[in-house]
Structure 1
Amino acid sequence: MAKKIVGPAVLVLLFLSISLACAQDFSAVPEKGTVTMVDLGAKKCIPCKMMAPIMEKLEKAYEGKAHIVFIDVWKNRGQAPRFGIRTIPTQIFFNENGEEVWRHEGFLEEKTIVDRLTEMGVKKPDIVNNGVSSCLIPYS
């Protein structure tokens, strides 16, 4: 029985189809008409892992008030050049018109994110932590 050898072109096509299947559509980011905060990183980067629980918490807390988005640039490779990313994580804040108003590289603490969103006119959320009534960390 003869063995079939898979050519490099077939392997490239297979890789691209798997990559595209994992990639998400972020063409609507930033979301026009609402303040948007985008965190560009990767699920396996250490500072990105440290930000993951903060991002999940804020995404829930700001639902309906602001658009909070995480983009894994290792899985969605076209997004890094689109947003001009030099290092991960990078956080970008966009106003309601979709214009970038602030950018930060590296880990960004929750208080700074909340303060920045508040400066942009987004009301601080009241309830977080899986529906249990409790305030975000105290901000004065």
Structure 2
Amino acid sequence: MAGNAVFEVSDATFDQEVLQSEQPVLVDFWAVWCGPCKAIAPIVDDLATAYAGKLKVVKVDVDKNGATPSRYGIRGIPALLIFKGGKVADQIVGYVPREVIEEKVNRVLALSPASVN
């Protein structure tokens, strides 16, 4: 369920691919059976292409990878977490329009790493 610019990460690769990334990272926590996840997937794919070079976009299948969602308190999906400098800078739970996601992404991209909690 990942597009060309979107990468699948697992519990084993999460720290390297997300927390140690030089770029901010949008992480999409999803599952195959989740209807809203399927609805938001094309938006996530489009954003990955639109923000190529500025934002890394990855997906975590919560059914195959339980440790990472648990670590970040993911209780509902889809859940989008935006990481910057190895820390959660913003998050969205549930289906939202593209504009809402873009607004949060743009806000995080404008933040200096020191201003992320």
Q: Could you tell me whether the CA contact under 8 Å between 2:82 and 2:108 is conserved in 1?
A: no
SS in 1 for 2:14: coil
Distance 1:121 1:105 in 2: 19
Identity of aligned residues (%): 32
Equivalent residue number for residue 39 of structure 1: 28
Give the structure, 1 or 2, with the largest relative contact order (CA under 8 Å, sep 6 or more). Answer: 2
SS in 2 for 1:47: helix
Q: Which runs of 4+ in 1 moved over 3 A?
A: none
Equivalent residue number for residue 7 of structure 1: none
Equivalent residue number for residue 121 of structure 1: 109
Instruction: Please state if 1:59 is matched with 2:48.
Output: yes
- The one-letter code matched in structure 1 to 2:19 is P
Q: Could you tell me whether the CA contact under 8 Å between 2:90 and 2:108 is conserved in 1?
A: no
Based on CA coordinates, which of the two structures has the bigger radius of gyration?
A: 1
**Structure 2 unmatched ranges of 5 or more:** 1-8, 111-117
SS in 2 for 1:120: helix
Q: Could you tell me whether the CA contact under 8 Å between 2:30 and 2:79 is conserved in 1?
A: yes
Please give the root-mean-square deviation of Cα atoms over the aligned residues, in Å: 1.9
Distance 2:19 2:78 in 1: 17
Distance 2:70 2:89 in 1: 18
* TM, length-normalised to structure 1: 0.62
C-alpha distance after superposition, 1:55-85 (max 9, x if no partner)? 1111122221111111111122222112221
Distance 1:27 1:119 in 2: 23
Instruction: Please state if 1:80 is matched with 2:69.
Output: yes
* TM, length-normalised to structure 2: 0.73
Count of equivalent residues: 99
**Structure 1 unmatched ranges of 5 or more:** 1-22, 123-140
